[in-house]
């Protein structure tokens, strides 16, 4: 399995070559990131990180500051190190080094 950049089908569904998808939406072109094979554009981990940092520059990503808390003011905008950590954790969880 590989990191795949893909678009939804004309019916708005995930393509059948994506087994785990719906991540890191690009508002510019509507593409998403997923895991799969046989379609879309295959990305390396470094390419995914570059893509995500580029998206982050236009549309800053945020994360819970304390995942255990249930409060509205518990979200902070990630810095570049935070985006890198997010991508590294995402890849690690999917067995991608």
Reading the block at residue 59, the tokens are 């549309």
Nearest 5°: the CA angle 23, 5, 83 is 50
Domain ranges, residue 54: 2-93
Rounded CA separation 67/22 (Å):
21
Write out the E strands in 1-97: 2-6, 18-23, 32-36, 41-43, 62-64, 75-77
Interval 20-38 mean pLDDT:
95
User: How many structural domains are present in the chain?
Assistant: 1
pLDDT of 60 reads 87
Interval 9-14 mean pLDDT:
95
């Amino acid at each position: 399995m590989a990191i795949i950049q893909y678009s939804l089908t004309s019916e708005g569904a995930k393509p059948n070559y994506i087994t785990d998808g719906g991540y890191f939406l690009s508002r510019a072109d509507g593409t998403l990131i997923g895991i799969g094979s046989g379609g879309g554009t295959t990305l390396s981990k470094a390419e995914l990180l570059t893509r995500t940092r580029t998206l982050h520059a236009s549309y800053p990503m945020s994360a819970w500051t304390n995942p255990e808390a249930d409060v509205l003011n518990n979200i902070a905008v990630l810095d570049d190190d935070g985006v890198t950590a997010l991508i590294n954790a995402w890849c690690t969880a999917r067995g991608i080094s």
